[in-house]
Chain A
């Protein structure tokens, strides 16, 4: 038990220490951007809060006002009332929620000023807090109201304020007036810290502007590419950016060379009002096109600032903003330059894919991958090799670049496509063994690339000489010699084309002889095969086929073994009769018939046993002698009587 306790204590201690040592601090101002402290669209959105909203907000930040200073003073000297009386001659305190000047509540003054200058009242609320802490102060002094927004008070000696600017209403008014003048780039309001893309008339330059870290020049600063007008306005108001230490410091703490005006503006704005970003980046920047002639407007007011832009104009959008119940998209250009203008999203459509007249196969001319033309996003990991076939169904043109989308991607509603510049027509290839083939069943010629059919029906058995071919999507097509010569795109599906079949001659098998020395030929390539067959060689031919009107024979041997070796009929002839040395009368030894000696078919008869006939010519076929009568010899009839049936 004791051992268990000891182990438990030891392990727990080590574990807890490990956890403690592993805890790390976190950055203190996530989202801060010194070049874009707040978006113009937020800065100028005057309709974020009504006067009542502002009042409710002020009440929420000071639930209980120490109007009579009964609490102990943070600065010593007894109660707040006593301290106030001793130092500023005031023993009662009016919190901002209760403050009235010129018959107006502070909330109304803030609201009215915001409306007058089209500045977000939230900007003014934050300004009052960062300059004097007025929003959260439960016992504000009169001097805080006197210089409520710090307008006209030097940073090095903020207490020395110009009396022209004294007074709460005056202070709020001057601040908003200045903000508006800078937002409008008013030529009568001298200013600096111009956005980098704007020419500073005093120096004649665009580009970065120097912003210090602190009123103390020794603290340094940096050159910033200021992105928008509202950031320009804030730097003109408080010309310091936080250094790294100030950024990491907690609110209310101070660091060496730190300046907190703008970072606290950011912090308060985000904490109280959520975001300084009216425009948020699109997750995926996108090309879209106008579906009507449309204007670019300032989203917070709806004021037209550019346009109209013609219907069907394509633009790349990279950020968006929701204002006045409408989503606005901001172009890449406007986003880059921080311009507060967007296009009502209802005036925009996706750039459409258009059906091609025919779905067509093409092939890749280089290794590539599919991209989304509307976003430019590609998928390099899914590479497509050069030469691969791609069934093109639709096209889309984005920013002048045409892309083709496949039938597959269309069917699956995928946005991916391939630049048309990387796709090329698929050519016919030469047929290695151009030859005549026969259509198996009635069919039509077809364009393999598109699937389009010719109207003419080709009957079964029709023969064509095919000289080119194409394989599309795994299907082989043959193109006829005529279509090849005419360069038409039509072809016949190879599955429906067969070698011209042999006919088994059966009882019509025939003996013929070679006319002159020759060789058999391969029935597909036409190339000579086997050895030379001398003239006069007798061949027993048992199958034949007719190709392009010419008959080709195959020997009994080749037929039996399925060898595709043939002899054109034009190179064969009947085996000729030869004269008997002496015409001779012979007796028929049994009832018989005259036959065609090349086929053994009966041609005449019967002739009765004992009959005698004068024979003048003879023929030897397959080892058998046949004798031809004087009459048949004279009439050149190719018939004779087998020598087995004759005697002399």
Chain B
């Protein structure tokens, strides 16, 4: 009877260990698959040798192509809905020596628009204008730079307003100028 009990205990331990082993193998498989997928993506290594890849597209390429296509479809459906929305504008400033450069980006494709930049420092203010120019997918103002001696040093606040195709948009930024 005692002997039988001992055998049962060993059997239980063995079963538990086998379960642990199976779980371990499961974890290994999962991690391997993750890593394998990752490595598939990681084929993008520029080794400096030119070639032309005439092989079938990879799963990544197919998947990415489909995502791109889906975006096009969704955007096409969105279509004209944004026509009356304000133009999304970004504005950033950077002091480069004795110049402060203001970079802008407008989410519209238009060569016919105006940009008005107003920079204030304390009670001083300066306003500059420029025309808009189109890139393939955005537009930008034709560059703004303000000499650091045009306004008192300190915190400059800038507001850019873009008007194009009967729409407007604006953005603000501030930066320390010394």
Please list the residues of chain A having a beta carbon within 8 angstroms of any beta carbon in chain B.
2, 5-6, 9-10, 12-14, 16-17, 19-21, 23, 25-31, 42, 48-49, 53, 56-57, 60-63, 74-75, 87, 122, 129-137, 140-141, 143-144, 147, 149-162, 174-175, 178, 190-192, 200-210, 212, 215-217, 221, 223, 236-239, 250-252, 254, 264, 266-268, 270-277, 280
CB-contact partner of A153 in B48, B49, B52, B137, under 8 A: B137
A-B CB contact pairs (8 Å), 22 listed: A9-B20, A14-B24, A16-B27, A17-B27, A23-B34, A23-B35, A87-B73, A133-B66, A136-B57, A136-B65, A147-B72, A157-B82, A158-B75, A192-B143, A208-B94, A209-B103, A217-B105, A252-B63, A272-B52, A272-B53, A277-B46, A277-B48
CB distance from A517 to the nearest CB of B (A): 92
State how many angstroms separate the Cβ of B66 from the closest Cβ of chain A: 6
A141 to B69 alpha-carbon distance, docked (Å): 9
B59-74: contact bitstring with A at CB < 8 Å (1 yes, 0 no)?
A: 0111111111111111
A205 touches B57 (CB 8 A): no
Known pairs A60-B55, A217-B88; list 6 more (Cβ under 8 Å).
A20-B30, A74-B70, A132-B68, A133-B66, A273-B51, A275-B48
A60 touches B137 (CB 8 A): no
Size category of the B interface is 35 or more
A31 — which chain B residues lie within 8 A by C-beta?
A: 44-46
- B76/A159 in contact, CB under 8 A: yes
Closest to B62 in A: A136
Report whether B18 and A9 are in contact in the complex, using a CB–CB cutoff of 8 Å. yes
Question: Which of A6, A140, A153 touches B17 (beta carbons < 8 Å)?
Answer: A6
**Chain A minimum-CB-distance residue to B136:** A151
Residues of the A chain whose Cβ atoms lie less than 8 Å from the Cβ of B49: 274-275
Residue contact B21 to A13, C-beta cutoff 8 Å: yes
Given contacts A29-B44, A239-B135, contact A160 B83 (CB under 8 A): yes
- A456: shortest Cβ distance to chain B, in Å? 65
Most chain B beta-carbon neighbours within 10 Å: one of A9, A31, A147: A9
Distance in Å from the Cβ of A559 to the closest Cβ of chain B?
Answer: 85
Q: Complex formed: what's the CA distance from A584 to B157 in Å?
A: 142
Question: Which residues of B come within 8 Å of A, CB atoms?
Answer: 10, 13-14, 17-18, 20-21, 23-25, 27-28, 30-32, 34-35, 37-39, 41-58, 60-83, 88-92, 94, 96-97, 99, 101, 103, 105, 107-109, 130, 133-138, 140, 142-145, 171
Give the chain B neighbours of A271 by CB distance below 8 A. 43-44, 53, 58, 61
Task: Tell whether, in the assembled complex, residue A267 and residue B44 are in contact, meaning their CB atoms are under 8 Å apart.
Answer: yes
**A-B contact count, CB below 8 Å?**
281
Closest CB in chain B relative to A219 CB, distance in Å? 9
Closest to A204 in B: B145
Closest chain A residue, CB of each to CB of B134:
A152
Knowing A202-B142, A239-B135, A271-B58 touch, does A215 contact B28 (C-beta < 8 A)? Answer: no
The answer to whether A16 and B50 touch (CB under 8 A), given A23-B35, A190-B133, A250-B38, is no
Shortest B148–chain A CB gap in Å is: 12
- A26-B42 CB under 8 A given contacts A2-B14, A154-B107, A210-B103: yes
Q: A11 → chain B, closest Cβ, in Å?
A: 10
Considering the complex, give the chain B residue whose CB is closest to the CB of A202: B143
- B109–A162 CB distance below 8 A: yes
Give bound CA distance, A383 to B27, whole Å. Answer: 55
CA distance A236 to B69 in the complex (A): 22
Nearest chain B CB to A275's CB is how many angstroms away?
Answer: 5
Cβ–Cβ contact A140 & B108, under 8 A: no
Q: Which residues of B contact A160 (CB under 8 A)?
A: 75, 78-80, 82-83
Closest CB-CB distance, A258 to chain B, in whole Å? 12
Contacts of B109 in A (CB 8 A): 152-154, 161-162
- Do residues B136 and A149 form an inter-chain contact, with CB atoms below 8 A? yes
Give min CB distance, B3 to chain A, whole Å.
Answer: 14
* A252–B79 CA distance with the chains assembled, in angstroms: 24
Contact B53 A5 (CB under 8 A): no
Bound form: Cα–Cα A162–B39 in Å: 40
Pair A13/B17 contact, Cβ less than 8 Å: yes
